Amino acid sequence: MNIDSIKNGIVIDHITAGKGMEIYRLLGLDALDCQVAIIKNASSAKMGKKDIIKIDADITVNTDILGYVDPGVTVDTIRNGELVDKKKTELPERLVNILTCRNPRCITTTEQELPHIFRLTDREKGEYRCIYCETKGKTS
């Protein structure tokens, strides 16, 4: 298989195999008007297998989503065919409008315009809780 390199854009690398499509969905990459390549189960010396997402546009990527879905993912910025920046993600302390509260009595259920905000409560387990009612979060 041959996937062309990109001249200007973003490469999301070191994605745990199988999580690439979830990242694609949460980042809303289907709405982009540029080439996006998802490479699933690519061979990796460090990971065995990994997923990679290549975006042929210089966009801003929500690293909170990346850190939540798969801490350790790297975001490489490519300009003129050269790597100019490489960032490694980690679990964010706070998530805004990434998770939804499943508590039917939470204020976010009745106040539709209120942002869904969750804070990291257990780094080991990757657990987040709603700041309004303390319910564990779930991906929307």
- In a domain, residue 2? The reply is no
- In a domain, residue 28? The reply is yes
Count up the domains in the chain and report the number: 2
Residue 58 pLDDT: 87
pLDDT digits (tens, 9 = 90+) for 44-75: 888 899 999 999 998 999 999 999 999 999 99
- In a domain, residue 42? The reply is yes
pLDDT digits (tens, 9 = 90+) for 5-33: 788 999 999 999 999 999 999 999 999 99
- Does residue 67 sit in the same domain as residue 113? no
- In a domain, residue 75? The reply is yes
C-alpha distances out from residue 83 to 7, 99, 107, Å: 10, 32, 45
Range of the structural domain that residue 43 is part of: 9-88
pLDDT digits (tens, 9 = 90+) for 69-128: 999 999 999 999 899 999 999 999 999 998 999 999 999 988 889 999 999 999 999 899
- Does residue 84 sit in the same domain as residue 98? no
- Does residue 42 sit in the same domain as residue 67? yes
Contact 15, 88 (CB under 8 A): no
> Which CATH number covers residue 108?
2.30.30.20
Residue 105 pLDDT: 94
- In a domain, residue 1? The reply is no
Residue 46 pLDDT: 87
- Does residue 16 sit in the same domain as residue 80? yes
